[in-house]
């Protein structure tokens, strides 16, 4: 098993990419800290992990709050003894996130606080734990829109994910000699509740689908498999990278330098 005896903390693990990753990591031998503000969903993820024979802990934490992030790491270490993998996956895509003229400041602040500050705070408290464990892997969920502009306006989301990608690169450089790897997972458009609630009309969905060479939305399970590779020693020489899993969308639209 690729994560035998490892301990992984996953934020946003009550559904979507986070839940699928928790289940896959557990099957590969990891103990899991499930972090979310959705208590019902988080507890359900824990039950699902336990049904697979794995070990899991649920911690309620708002990743935009420093005290909560400090506590989620502390509870992980006190329960499982260490932290080896930190998956900063929690994020939102608000229905009122639009272009720069119409997006309200409160929506901007909310999105940046969760999507970008949440990754910063996860690393702020998670990196010392990884250092205590002798190293490990950090995976930050960015997005293909960190590399492209979005076809459907979502200015705060796009800006937040661009920030995640830049922060990932800097953290990777800073901690490269400490056996701590930091990479960004950049999913393409996924058939998850978060995106489907944003692309809430057939017109919006088709506008996004037409740009994907594979002609379909990705699945959360496919992102979990990508995260597993980044978490495992199989990616031991990879840090500071954008791991793009997007059905070909960036290949079709990014012009080579």
Bridge partner residues of 180 (DSSP): 136
Q: How far apart are CA 218 and CA 6, in angstroms?
A: 27
Q: Helix (H, G, I), strand (E, B), or coil: what is residue 138?
A: strand
157 tagged catalytic: yes
Q: What are phi and psi of 41, to 5 degrees?
A: -65, -40
State the virtual CA torsion across 196, 93, 222, 231 in degrees, nearest 10: -170
Among residues 127, 126, 151, 107, the alpha carbon closest in space to that of 63 is found at: 126
Q: Helix (H, G, I), strand (E, B), or coil: what is residue 50?
A: helix
Q: How far apart are CA 142 and CA 137, in angstroms?
A: 16
Structural contact between residues 13 and 60, judged by C-beta atoms closer than 8 angstroms: no
Taken in order 60, 64, 67, 73, the sign of the CA dihedral is positive
Catalytic residue positions, numbered: 157
């Amino acid at each position: 098993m690729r994560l035998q005896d490892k301990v992984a903390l996953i934020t946003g693990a009550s559904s979507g990419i986070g839940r699928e990753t928790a289940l896959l990591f557990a099957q590969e031998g990891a103990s899991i800290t499930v972090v979310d503000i959705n208590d019902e969903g988080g507890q359900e993820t824990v039950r699902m992990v336990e049904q697979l024979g794995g070990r899991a802990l649920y911690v309620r934490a708002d990743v935009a709050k420093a005290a909560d992030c400090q506590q989620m790491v502390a509870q992980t270490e006190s329960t499982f003894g260490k932290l080896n993998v930190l998956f900063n996956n929690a994020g939102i895509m608000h229905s009122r996130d639009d272009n720069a003229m119409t997006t309200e400041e409160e929506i901007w602040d909310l999105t940046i606080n969760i999507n970008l500050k949440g990754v910063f705070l996860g690393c702020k408290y998670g990196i010392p734990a990884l250092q205590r464990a002798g190293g490990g892997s950090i995976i930050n969920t960015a997005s293909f829109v960190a590399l492209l502009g979005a076809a459907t306006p979502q200015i705060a989301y796009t800006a937040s994910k661009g920030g995640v990608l830049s922060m990932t690169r800097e953290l990777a450089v800073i901690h490269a000699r400490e056996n701590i790897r930091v990479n960004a997972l950049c999913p393409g458009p996924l058939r998850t509740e978060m995106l489907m609630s944003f692309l809430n009309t057939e017109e919006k969905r088709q506008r996004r689908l037409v740009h994907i060479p594979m002609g379909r939305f990705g699945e959360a399970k496919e992102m979990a498999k990508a995260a597993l590779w980044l978490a495992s020693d199989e990616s031991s020489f990879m840090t500071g990278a954008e791991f793009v899993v997007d059905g070909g969308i960036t290949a079709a639209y990014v012009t080579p330098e």
